[in-house]
């Protein structure tokens, strides 16, 4: 029995030594130290021993169990340490590796120009007004001195939804709505940025959906001089301090007199080039003094109040500012185009 117990101890210690993971070690613990393990089995034969031998064998049995248990415990510590070490090695961060750069987006060039124009007018005391893109014929045309059947409606081919509702063809209906809200009381000083829709054929300078920014000022004693001064500040701010503007007579049913506003060519400085078609001037917007009929329809006394209004296409402004040759670049979202306007290239 003594030999059996010692052989068992040797065998168990060898297996413990060979175990290279905690699961195998636990299996050895269950196999050798469990209630029905071999030490217990061997000690069952103690009944056949003399009274003298029995306590000796009992003590030896405990000794073998103790040796196996402490060997398992020691090995467990070693294996646990190894496991922690392995985990630490796997989680090691190499701080010398180059970082991964985060790709940031950038503001769309059109948004940038719209916000720049907004900021300029806000700094001159204007507030920003908005209106619906699906608009009533009344605000888009009638309240702007364009009754049904007026030939000037052909200037803006429209997408009609019903006979009285259409996609707005310009941002001027926001003028009409704002004036109506003011109930004949000045002053009014707003700009209205927003999307507009026209049945124009798409080409390098036209789109069926584009952006406009409208400006409207109504107060006592507002004159054409105020309009010209305001637009001069705008042109210099957008295109450079050397720029000049000129007004050419034009026609809009909602303004009288009406003008087209040109800026001196920013590409040739006014000398004449292929962009300004040799004239030295580039058209940037339409404007005029608010027609008395429009003031009266919105409830303003046209003898007391006068006003000016203007409307521009920020796509065309951005094209001139950044030398963009096709309006469709704004809408196709080609990353190669957009990336050129990133501040973190
Ligand atoms: C108007 O829409 C008037 N409502 C502007 C106005 C407001 C005049 C207040 C007087 C007082 P016009 O149709 O010219 O005007 O358009 C204004 C600007 O929109 C043009 O100068 C141009 O820059 C831009 N625009 C017009 N049609 C298109 C188009 N199809 N695609 C891109 N931009 C366009």
Q: Are 327 and 210 in contact (CB under 8 A)?
A: yes
**CA of residue 266 to ligand 1 center, whole Å:** 21
Of ligand 1's listed atoms, the one at least distance from the Cα of 312 is 18
Q: Is 219 helix (H, G, I), strand (E, B) or coil?
A: strand
What averages of pLDDT result for each successive group of 10 residues across the chain (345 residues)?
Answer: 85 90 89 82 79 83 88 90 90 88 87 96 98 97 92 83 95 96 95 96 92 98 97 94 94 96 90 88 95 96 98 94 91 91 67
100 occurs within a structural domain: no
Strands 165-167 and 134-136: antiparallel
Q: What is the pLDDT of residue 345?
A: 46
Terminal-residue alpha carbon distance, the chain: 84
202 occurs within a structural domain: yes
Residues with CB under 6 Å of ligand 1 are 156, 170, 172, 198, 200, 206-207, 210, 212, 214, 252, 255, 285-288, 309-313, 315-316, 327
Co-location of 245 and 323 in the same domain: yes
Count of structural domains within the chain: 2
- Residue corresponding to tokens 């415990």: 73
- List, in sequence order, every beta strand (DSSP E) within 188-278: 188-197, 209-219, 245-252, 255-264
Rounded distance between C-alpha atoms, residue 199 and residue 197, angstroms: 7
- For residue 272, the 8-state DSSP code is -
Q: What's the predicted TM-score (pTM) here? A: 0.73
280 occurs within a structural domain: yes
Which residues constitute the domain of residue 65? 2-90
Co-location of 114 and 80 in the same domain: no
Q: What is the pLDDT of residue 120?
A: 97
Rounded distance between C-alpha atoms, residue 152 and residue 286, angstroms: 15
Co-location of 217 and 300 in the same domain: yes
Tell me, what CATH number does 211's domain have? 3.30.930.10
Q: Are 268 and 276 in contact (CB under 8 A)?
A: yes
- Rg over alpha carbons for the chain, rounded to the nearest Å, is 44
Co-location of 319 and 170 in the same domain: yes
Cβ neighbours around 125 below 10 Å, total: 9
Residue nearest to atom 29 of ligand 1 (CA): 206
102 occurs within a structural domain: no
**CA of residue 30 to ligand 1 center, whole Å:** 88
């Amino acid at each position: 029995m003594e030999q059996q117990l010692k052989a068992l101890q040797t065998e168990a210690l060898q297996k413990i030594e060979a175990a290279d993971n905690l699961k195998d070690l636990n299996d050895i613990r269950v196999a050798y130290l469990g209630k029905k393990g071999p030490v217990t089995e061997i000690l069952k034969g103690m009944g056949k021993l003399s009274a003298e031998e029995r306590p000796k064998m009992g003590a030896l049995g405990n000794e073998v169990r103790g040796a196996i248990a402490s060997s398992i415990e020691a090995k467990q510590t070693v294996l646990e340490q190894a496991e922690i070490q392995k985990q630490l090695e796997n989680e090691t961060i190499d701080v010398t590796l180059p970082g991964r750069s985060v790709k940031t987006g950038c503001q769309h060039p059109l948004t940038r120009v719209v916000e720049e124009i907004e900021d300029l007018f806000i700094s001159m005391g204007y507030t920003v007004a908005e209106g619906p893109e699906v608009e009533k014929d009344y605000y888009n045309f009638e309240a702007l001195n364009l009754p049904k059947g007026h030939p000037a409606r052909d200037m803006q081919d429209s997408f009609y939804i019903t006979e009285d509702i259409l996609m707005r063809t310009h941002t001027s209906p926001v003028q009409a709505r704002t004036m109506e809200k003011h109930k004949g009381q000045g002053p009014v000083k707003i700009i209205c940025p927003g999307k507009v829709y026209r049945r124009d054929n798409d080409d390098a300078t036209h789109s069926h959906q584009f952006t406009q920014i409208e400006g409207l000022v109504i107060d006592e004693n507002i004159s054409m001089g105020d309009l010209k001064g305001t637009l001069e500040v705008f042109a210099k701010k957008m295109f450079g301090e050397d720029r000049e503007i000129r007004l050419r007579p034009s026609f809009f049913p909602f303004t009288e007199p009406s003008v087209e506003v040109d800026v001196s060519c920013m590409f040739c400085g006014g000398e004449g080039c292929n962009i300004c078609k040799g004239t030295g001037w580039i058209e940037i917007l339409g404007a005029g003094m608010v027609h008395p009929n429009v003031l009266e329809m919105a409830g303003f006394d046209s003898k007391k109040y006068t006003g000016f209004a203007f409307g521009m296409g920020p796509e065309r402004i951005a094209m001139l500012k950044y030398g963009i040759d096709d309006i469709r670049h704004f809408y196709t979202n080609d990353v190669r185009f957009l990336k050129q306007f990133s501040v973190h290239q």
